[in-house]
Structure 1
Amino acid sequence: MLDIRYVRDNQEAVAQAMANRNFPWDAELFASLDEQRREAISAEESLQAERNAASKEIGKLMGAGKKEEAEAAKEQVRQINEKLAEASAKREKVDAKLNDILVGSPNIPCDATPVGKDESENPERRRWGTPREFDFDFKPHWDLGTDLDILDFDRGNKLSGSRFTVLGGAGARLERALINYFLDTHTSRGFKEWWPPIVVKRQTMFGTGQLPKFEDDAYHVSGDNFLIPTAEVVLTNLHAGEVLDAADLPKWYTAFTPCFREEAGSAGRDTRGIIRQHEFDKVEMVKFATPEDSDAQLESMTAEAEYLLQQLELPYRVISLCTGDLGFSARQTYDVEVWLPSYNAYKEISSCSNCGDFQARRANIKYRDPANFKGTRYVHTLNGSGLPAGRTMAAILENYQQADGSIKVPDVLVPYMGGMEYIKAEA
């Protein structure tokens, strides 16, 4: 959520930032509403002062036995209260309109975010590994998984509909192995693991920016609750409404959860295989940091996602999202993209974002640092995939496939697979 004071004091910069994000920003409307709000507040304060003075006068008149004058003063207070109620109602109406603007507007990109119109202008930062050259006709992961009887798309569709998949045998074990490997790696490198609920309140979804903008992509359940689209929602909101101590920052959190997305706006995209599912498993990373440290924490979070891919020996590249492709809550984002032979391209497998104080304002998460300032300030929140099991599985199947149709298990996963070195079709 945008800071109204920042918007008020930096209207030209905000207008330019929104233009860079391809977001329809009405600067004149904001300025007009902000001026109406300040006038309404001034009117309220003036009427409150007038009422207070009249109320004091009533006491004096009553004490002096001047009942008629006191009754007249009471009538004056009644009339002032009516005017005050009108002024307050006007201010509340303007407040609501301003709040809708601030809540519905995306984050302001930081200076490190490149300016660009869309994903075609995302600059590449670095690459790791070399895509494999096959000396046989390689297959996409959806054919490999079907042939090995570890991915069953037909039964997934029968049970739940399109974009649901059943994993069987070594496929189910590989999913579990990836989740455990990711969590073991993160927790051994400083992250605290959580096991949160996956059904959350509307306010929880609002806190991280999923609502109201992305409600069409969310799964509603009973009442006004939702299934989470990512563990970012629950991990970030663990501290909603709290004041943290600067000495405890940064905080590094991780969690595995199933994730649920309607994918309402992705018709026709990545419909084959397990790249874009309505339900998928993901290990998430979330950090809480001071404003001075959050940029460094973004770099280390991205390096954490890269470390997993390096250990799995999967080629990848890192790109910076430009302003036209930046997510709603982010001020800066690195996408880590893994090589998928079936696409002959790199596909996103992790998105690591610094949200600044945008989410913290919505969820009211602050910190105190008595040695450096009075009162409290909003923390900076960060999040990143670390990693999604499904997309990682697809990358492993395609990059580690053998000429006979089997899949070599990456060395770091062999212990998690009970010593299995190759996934082969069951006899």
Structure 2
Amino acid sequence: MIDLRVLRENPELFRESMQKRRASSDVVDQLLSSDSEHRSALQSFESLRAEQKAMGKQVAQAQGEQKQQLLERTKALAAEVKAAEGKVSAAAEAFEAAHKAIPNLVSPQAPAGGEEDFRLIREVGEVTKPDPCRDHLELAESLGIIDIERGAKTSGSRFYYLVGDGALLQLGMLQLGMQQAVANGFTPVIPPVLVRPEAMEGTGFLGEHADEIYYLERDDAYLVGTSEVPLASYHSGEKLELDQPLRYAGWSSCFRREAGSYGKDTRGIIRVHQFDKVEMFVFCTPETAEAEHLRLLDMEEQMMAKMELPYRVIDVAAGDLGTSAARKFDCEGWVPSQGRYRELTSTSNCTTFQARRLNIKYRDTNGKNAVAATLNGTLATTRWIVALLENHQQSDGSVYVPRALQPYVGKEVIEPKK
């Protein structure tokens, strides 16, 4: 949720932000109008309430015909107060909806435009195309480590089983990511994956991408698509001590409906309904958020290096940012069978947007209450298996296991099943 004080002082800043996102700035004008209407309705209501209280004292002291006239005015005033109260409620509802409709203010450093307008920061490693080049599913099936057919039989399309070395490969990545997080001062967390609406809304996931989320109507609860949601909600309604950032690493299963991806990436496990992930999450002061963002990116790149994968880092364009993000960096791994880079991990600086919604504050250097900043970033997830298998495939159909994962998988090479 954006800072209303900043909007009132500089609405043009938000119009420019919406333009960078390639979105209409009408929502800015709508919020300004709703804000004005809400404050006007509230002022009218409070004025009538003040008159009502004063009238009550006059009635108590009046006599005869004067008292009767005052009683009649009191009756009419009560109806006016009730009507004014209704206008305040309606205006407040419209104002809240307009407030929530505006995404976070885009960072001045983020490039403008859509998905293809990202800024390339760097490329790391040498991209190759093995000969023969098998895709990850062909490799996985020959190795006996992913079972798509039985996943579909049990749960439907876009579900799968990780079996044997496939399960060990994922567990190894997640454990390695968690160990790296702990070594860097993060507190490990296994959070709930079923959350209340206020937790989902507070992190900005019930806006344009609400159809991606699994909703359990009977329980009025949501399955999370990332542990960012329960980690953000962990300190909701609290006042934090932020002399040092609070850093958490959540290990969870994640669920996404992929409602908008019909016909896309239907082969294999690039885009699935359930996956596992280790997610970093940070609470800090707004002044230290940019430095924390670079720290999270560095940790993600350390994991890319441990996976021995060629990748590139991009500064995501404003139009491709989520509702909550002011700036986002993606690490995209090379996928040989597709001849292109695909997103493996990302880190977002959400500034004060989520914390304002979740009412998470801290005491600043002047001793005043201020809104905290939040950031998130992924350290390991199921999709990495795609890049691991394809980049480390060998001519005989086996797959090399990166040195960092060998202690977890228990071997240097995964051999095809006979």
C-alpha separation in 2, matches of 1:60 and 1:357: 53
- 1:351 partnered with 2:352: no
CA distance in 2, matches of 1:357, 1:30: 19
Q: Which residue of 2 aligns with 1:425?
A: 416
Q: Which amino acid aligns with 2:375?
A: L
Task: Between 19-28 and 80-89, report the one with greater CA deviation.
Answer: 19-28
- 2:306 is matched with which residue? 311
What is the aligned partner in structure 1 of residue 203 from structure 2? Answer: 208
Query: Are 1:331 and 2:330 counterparts?
Result: no
Q: How big is each residue's C-alpha offset from its partner over 1:164-219, in whole Å with a ceiling of 9 and x where there is no partner?
A: 11111111111111111111111111110111111111111111111143221111
Supply the AA of the counterpart residue of 1:126: R
Residue 359 of structure 2 aligns with which residue?
364
| 1:138-159 Cα deviation digits (max 9, x unpaired) | 2111110011111111111111
Contact persistence 2:129–2:337 (CA under 8 A) = no
**Conserved in 2, the CA contact under 8 Å of 1:289 and 1:381?**
yes
Aligned amino acid, residue 95 of structure 2: L
Distance 1:74 1:343, change over 3 A: same
User: For residues 118 and 148 of structure 2, what CA distance do their matches in structure 1 show?
Assistant: 33
Matched, 1:245 2:241: yes
Q: Distance in 2 between matches of 1:12 and 1:25?
A: 10
Query: Paired residue for 1:288?
Result: 283
Is 1:104–1:213's contact at 8 Å kept on the other side of the alignment? Answer: no
SS at match of 1:112: coil
> Partners in 2 of 1:107 and 1:31 — Cα distance?
16
Distance 1:212 1:29, change over 3 A: closer
Aligned match of 1:99? 96
Matched with 1:48 is 49
Structure 1 residues 370-413: Cα deviation after superposition (integer angstroms, max 9, x where no partner): x4242x1111111111121x221111111111111111111011
1:154 aligns with 2:158: no
Match of residue 127 from structure 1: 123
Partner of 2:21: 21
Judge conservation of contact 2:207–2:323 (CA < 8 Å) in 1: no
1:321 aligns with 2:316: yes
1:163 aligned to 146, 155, 158, which one?
158
Preserved CA contact (<8 Å) 2:197 2:220: yes
- Kindly provide the CA deviation profile for residues 280-332 of structure 1, in whole angstroms up to 9, marking residues without a partner as x: 11110110110100011111011111111112211111101111211111011
SS class of match (2:149): helix
SS in 2 for 1:113: coil
Is the CA contact 1:349–1:391 (under 8 Å) kept in the aligned structure 2?
yes
d(CA) in 1 for partners of 2:209 and 2:22? 17
Q: Determine if contact 2:142/2:417 at 8 Å carries over to the other structure.
A: no
Q: CA deviation at 1:28?
A: 4.3
- Range moving further from structure 2, 28-37 or 159-168: 28-37
Q: Which of 108, 111, 122 is the matching residue for 2:108?
A: 111
Contact kept, 8 Å, 2:31 with 2:99, in 1: the verdict is no
Question: How far is the alpha carbon of 1:74 from its aligned partner?
Answer: 4.3
1:194 aligns with 2:211: no
CA drift at 1:12: 2.1
Unaligned runs of 5+ in 1: none
1:58-101 per-residue CA deviation (whole Å, 9 max, x = no partner) reads: 4444xxxx366455434433332321221121122122112111
Q: Which amino acid aligns with 1:393?
A: I
Counterpart of 2:394 (choices 402, 412, 415) is 402
Q: Any conservation in 1 of the 2:30–2:98 contact (CA below 8 Å)?
A: no
Distance 1:67 1:351 in 2: 77
Distance in 2 separating the partners of 1:93 and 1:5: 22
Shift of 1:356: 0.9
In 1: Cα distance, 2:64 partner to 2:176 partner = 82
Relative to the length of structure 2, the TM-score reads 0.95
Q: Which residue of 2 aligns with 1:7?
A: 7
| Structure-2 residue corresponding to 1:262 | 257
Aligned residue pairs, count: 416
Aligned equivalents of 2:144, 2:312: Cα separation in 1:
31
Cα pair distance change 1:67/1:196, threshold 3 Å? farther
Deviation, 1:29, is: 3.5
Q: Does 1:235 align with 2:228?
A: no
Greater shift, 10-19 or 317-326, is seen at 10-19
Which amino acid is the alignment partner of residue 226 of structure 1? Y
The 1:403–1:367 alpha-carbon spacing in structure 2 relative to 1, beyond 3 Å, is: same
Q: Secondary structure at the match of 1:414?
A: helix
Calculate the aligned-residue CA RMSD, in Å.
1.7
Shift of 1:239: 0.7
Aligned partner of 1:128: which letter?
V
Whole-angstrom CA distance in 1 between matches of 2:174 and 2:345: 15
SS at structure 1 position matched to 2:374: strand
Distance, in Å, in 1 between the alignment partners of 2:34 and 2:232 is 31
Give the SS at the match of 2:41: helix
Q: Which residue of 2 aligns with 1:413?
A: 405
User: What is aligned with 2:385?
Assistant: 393
Structure-1 residue corresponding to 2:84: 87
Report whether the alignment pairs 1:271 with 2:266.
Answer: yes
Question: Is the 1:284–1:387 contact (alpha carbons within 8 Å) kept by the matching residues of 2?
Answer: yes
Distance 2:226 2:346 in 1: 12
Letter in 1 for 2:188: E
1:176 aligns with 2:171: yes
